[in-house]
Every structure is written in structure tokens, then in C-alpha cells.
Amino acid sequence: MLSSMLATAADYELIDSYPHYSRGFTQGLVLHNKQLYESSGGYGKSFLIYGDLRGGHRQLALPGNYFAEGMTVFGDRLYVLTWKQGTALVFDPLTLTFQKRHHYPGEGWGLTHNGHELIMSDGSAELRFINPSDFSERRRITVHYHNKPMKFLNELEWHNGLILANQWQTNRILVIDEASGEVLKILDMTGLYPPAIRAPHTDVLNGIAYDKGSDSWLVTGKYWPRIYRVRLALPSPSTVRQKP
């Protein structure tokens, strides 16, 4: 059934590509005020970095007991999840100065926001909606396609009532209706960096950032040598489809 929803070449248009730090185990990717932020995972290897698309200008290594996961910039704070530590780290996005930490149950995977609350994945088929001030959970939705839960939701990006999610261990991006959790479309991005030409150490697609200025998207993967700028053909969320 899923094959009927896979994207075709018409669903994304490759516009450009840029060098990417290929030693980064990319977890989160965010474009904020024309600066590209990235979190990279691994115990004793996790770091945050930001700069323009031609290279990072500021980098911060995280303590060795933290495995960095998804990240987002909300207001004047940069939030970073950790995998199994149940800790969200908060930084100043301009200086990467540590500000505070929050705690949450379970694992941390992907993170984004909808302008009002944080949206977090934990590897399951559920997305949590989080109060950014104290990290308390407000609600959850189950991501599904034809009543089948869609697990392994990883890096996230919100856009106009849609949540785009990398599905771990695949090169797919799930396009999710924020209101219902329904998967409206599945984008197969394998053609951006075909497995046949990948270096042996490269991993799956992971990293989605929306560029409002050009209405395009930046995507990359774990240990990928390039970041790709694409345009995506996206469906309308239910809040739009239901209007008269």
C-alpha cells in the first residue's frame, strides 16, 4: 500500500547543493535568521554548529555523557534533545551559551515547533506537543497511514500545518497532518544521493530545514558530503482542505 504514496521525480525538484561536514552524524537541521544550525550525535562526539551554507562559524562540543539528537530554535532559545538521558539542553542561539536544562520521560529523537509549542518525536509512532517554558507535555498524536502506526519518526520540521519527518533507517520523508496524525504523502529522496555512489560509512537521510526566503527545503543525511536544496510538492493539511 505504501508504494502508491511514494514520491515521484515530479514531487521534488533539485535546485542546488552545498558542501556538508561529512564527519557529522546529523540529528537536527534548522535554518534560522539565515544561519544553518546542526546537531551531531554520538557519545563523546556530539556537537552543535552554525554558520552559513558555505561552512560553520561557531561550534560547541557537548559533554561526553550526552548523545545529541533533534534541535529547534524557538523564540530566543535553541533547544537540543538528548537520546537516552531524558534531558533537553537550552542554549542562546547566537553564542551557543548554555542557559538551562529540562527533563522528559523516554527517549529524545526529533524536535521542531509550530510557533506555539515544541513538537517532539521519541522513535515511536507518537508525536508529543510540549510547553516550551517547562517542557511539560500538552498532548500527543499517533502518526498513521490507513490506521497503521508509522514508527521511527526522527528529525522533524513543521510547515503550515504539516510536519515533515525523516523515518529512521529509510530515505523517506513522511508528510504528516498536524491535526490528525495522518500521513498524507511519503517522499522517497533516495535519488538525491543514490546508495550506489555513497561512501561505505555514509548513513541514511536525516535533516530537514525549511527556507522561508526561497520557499525551498534543505535536506541532508548522516555523514553525507552534501546538503541539497529542493522544492517539494506538498499536500494541503486538513485545516485547509476542510475550508469551504
In a domain, 241, yes or no: no
CATH number of the domain to which 145 belongs: 2.130.10.10
In a domain, 240, yes or no: no
Q: Please, which residues bridge with residue 47 across strands?
A: 40, 61
Indicate the residue type of 197.
I
Tell me the pLDDT tens digit for each residue of 28-60: 999 999 999 999 999 999 999 999 887 668 999
Cα–Cα distance measured from residue 41 to residue 45, given in angstroms and rounded to the nearest whole number: 6
**Position 243 pLDDT exceeds 80:** no
Place of cell 529509510: 170
In a domain, 114, yes or no: yes
The residue among 54 and 95 whose pLDDT is bigger is 95
**Position 21 pLDDT exceeds 50:** yes
**Position 3 pLDDT exceeds 50:** no
In a domain, 239, yes or no: no
pLDDT at 242: 53
pLDDT at 240: 66
Calculate mean pLDDT across residues 90-112: 97
Looking at the structure of the chain, the number of domains it has is 1
pLDDT at 60: 96
Residue 74, CA distances (Å) to 1, 93, 144, 154 in order: 37, 9, 27, 19
Share of the chain above pLDDT 70, in %: 93
In a domain, 242, yes or no: no
pLDDT at 7: 43
Calculate mean pLDDT across residues 226-244: 81
Q: Which three cell numbers stand for residue 21?
A: 561536514
Q: Which three cell numbers stand for residue 189?
A: 529522496
Calculate mean pLDDT across residues 8-19: 82
**Position 238 pLDDT exceeds 90:** no
pTM of the predicted model as reported, rounded to 2 decimal places: 0.92
Tell me the pLDDT tens digit for each residue of 148-200: 999 999 999 999 999 999 999 999 999 999 999 999 999 999 999 988 888 88
Average pLDDT, the chain: 92
**Position 4 pLDDT exceeds 80:** no
Tell me if 223 sits within 8 A of 10, measured CB to CB.
no
Cα–Cα distance measured from residue 204 to residue 166, given in angstroms and rounded to the nearest whole number: 9
In a domain, 244, yes or no: no
**Position 9 pLDDT exceeds 60:** no
**Position 1 pLDDT exceeds 50:** no
In a domain, 43, yes or no: yes
pLDDT at 54: 75
The residue among 97 and 239 whose pLDDT is bigger is 97
Q: Which three cell numbers stand for residue 36?
A: 544553518
- Provide the residue range defining the domain that includes 140: 2-234
Quickly list DSSP for 105-148: SS----EEE-SSSEEEE-SSSEEEEE-TTT--EEEEEE-EETTE
Calculate mean pLDDT across residues 99-121: 98
Cα–Cα distance measured from residue 144 to residue 176, given in angstroms and rounded to the nearest whole number: 9
Residue 215, CA distances (Å) to 152, 161, 201 in order: 27, 15, 32
In a domain, 98, yes or no: yes
pLDDT at 114: 97
